[in-house]
Amino acid sequence: MKTIIIGAGMAGLSAARILVQNGHNVAVLDKSRGVGGRMSTRTIDMAKADHGAQYFSVKTPEFQELISELQFENIAAEWHLAQRENVRYVGTKGMNSIPKKMASTLNVLVNEKVISIENNIAKTESGNEYDFDNLIITIPIPQVIELFRNSKIKFSHNDKNVLRKIEYEPCIAVMAVLKQPTEIVSGGIILENQPVAWIADNFQKGITETPTLTIHASAKYSAEHFDDDLQEVAKDMLSSVNQYINLKNIVTFQTHRWKFSNAIKRYEKPFYQVENLPIYLAGDGFGLGNVEGAFLSGYYLGMNL
Ligand SMILES: Cc1cc2nc3c(=O)[nH]c(=O)nc-3n(C[C@H](O)[C@H](O)[C@H](O)COP(=O)(O)OP(=O)(O)OC[C@H]3O[C@@H](n4cnc5c(N)ncnc54)[C@H](O)[C@@H]3O)c2cc1C
């Protein structure tokens, strides 16, 4: 069976691992330069900052098995946040080190943006064509809808009922390089009812030798300011948290708009087959959500094909 997977984030890589183990012929296509999707680590000169997912929880034995292997290989580690009792996990060299490791034994083709699907062939922007028996799509649902529109594939009534259940929230991220690490207790602070929802000290987290911060705006603030000038938005966010950060300690900063950060409303099952087509939808919009939910979505889809 030849399976093409669109998206080399946690869901796509998780599905690919299981399918390869079960003897399928699998290729994973991703539009970006690297793998990992929203498990993303940015390099700014000598500094590194996780700017998508910050940590993840492990609640299920399926995910625990992978994370224990990665802990053994020093790719993943525990992170204890002072404000939370449950243990969190991170990539030891940044969150992106986890998908990178998962992808290392798979056939992943990057810089391959799928722009249309026609008669069991996925066509990419570069002009390549990939034929498939099964197609797995792990990109956020609004992007799936656009891809289907460009492919002139119509969703059935049932398909539409499933897809309309899934919603994501936006997030504006600021990554700031510092002269010195902060004194933020345990390296991370969760804030409530403020423009900023999260501050992480990536040096204390252990992923960078040059100190950096990651600051995430709340979903409400991100939605209200999504299309504003990001330099001004970043300054506003930074000054709103000056009780935690000495602004004179900032050397430089970068920003990022995540249109789809967390799937806040999800389809209850871990994946969905588009009616009458060999096309399967997976990702964090299905099941548990977040990094673990994306893993389980790919895992259960892989087990069922
Ligand atoms: C700011 C932020 C903070 C977060 N914080 C946390 C957290 O602390 N804990 C947690 O557990 N989760 C967190 N999340 C959510 C978590 O990152 C996601 O739930 C999870 O990584 C989703 O994985 P996925 O495989 O479903 O999707 P993605 O990671 O989005 O993967 C989809 C992939 O598809 C590719 N793609 C898109 N369109 C195409 C196309 N047309 N052709 C080819 N490739 C394409 C993309 O490049 C991407 O690599 C956060 C996310 C963000 C953005």
pLDDT for position 305: 96
Atom of ligand 1 nearest to the CA of 289: 19
- Please tell me the distance between residue 38's alpha carbon and the centre of ligand 1 in angstroms: 3
Task: Tell me the β-bridge partners of 77.
Answer: 90
Cα of 123 vs centre of ligand 1, distance in Å, is 22
Q: What share of the chain is helix, strand, coil (3-state, %, to 5)?
A: 30, 30, 40
Alpha-carbon Rg for the chain in angstroms: 20
Closest C-alpha residue for ligand 1 atom 50:
53
What single string gives the DSSP state of each residue in 235-269? HHHHHHTTTTS-GGGEEEEEEEEEEEEEEEE-BSS
What pLDDT score does 301 carry? 98
User: Where does CATH 3.50.50.60 sit in the chain?
Assistant: 2-37+97-166+266-304
Residues 290, 294, 299: CA angle, nearest 5 degrees = 150
How far, CA to CA in Å, does 210 sit from each of 24, 42, 100, 179, 186?
43, 13, 22, 8, 17
Nearest atom in ligand 1 to 283's CA: 26
pLDDT score at 117: 98
Q: What does pLDDT average to in each consecutive run of 10 residues of the chain (305 residues)?
A: 96 98 97 98 95 97 98 97 93 98 98 97 98 98 97 95 96 96 92 96 95 97 98 97 94 97 98 97 98 98 97
Residue ranges of the chain that CATH labels 3.90.660.10: 168-263
pLDDT at 1: 84
Q: Name the residue of 4, 10, 38 to mutate for ligand 1: max ligand atoms within 8 A of Cβ.
A: 38
CA of 256 to the centre of ligand 1 (A): 14
Ligand 1 center to residue 135 CA distance, Å?
A: 19
How far apart CA 218 and CA 150 sit, in angstroms, is: 33
Fold exhibited by the domain 168-263? Polyamine Oxidase; Chain A, domain 2 (3.90.660)
- The reported pLDDT for the residue numbered 240 is 96
Q: Report the nearest-CA residue for atom 27 of ligand 1.
A: 9
**Pocket, ligand 1, Cβ cutoff 6 A:** 6-12, 29-32, 37-39, 52-56, 113-114, 138-139, 143, 147, 171, 173, 216, 258, 261-262, 283-284, 290-291, 294
CA 60 and chain centroid, separation: 19
Output the CA 300–ligand 1 centroid distance in Å: 18
Structurally, at CATH architecture level, domain 2-37+97-166+266-304 sits in 3-Layer(bba) Sandwich (3.50)
Residue with CA at minimum distance from ligand 1 atom 48 = 37
Q: Which atom of ligand 1 is nearest to the CA of 54?
A: 8
pLDDT at 181: 87
Q: Where on the phi/psi map is residue 228: left (φ > 0), alpha (ψ -120 to 50), or beta?
A: beta
What pTM was computed for the model? Answer: 0.98
**Can you say whether the dihedral through the CA atoms of 195, 54, 140, 256 is positive or negative?**
positive
Taking the CA of residue 298 as reference, the ligand 1 atom at the shortest distance is 25
Atom 1 of ligand 1, residue of closest alpha carbon:
52
The most distant pair of C-alpha atoms in the chain lies apart, rounded to whole Å, by 59
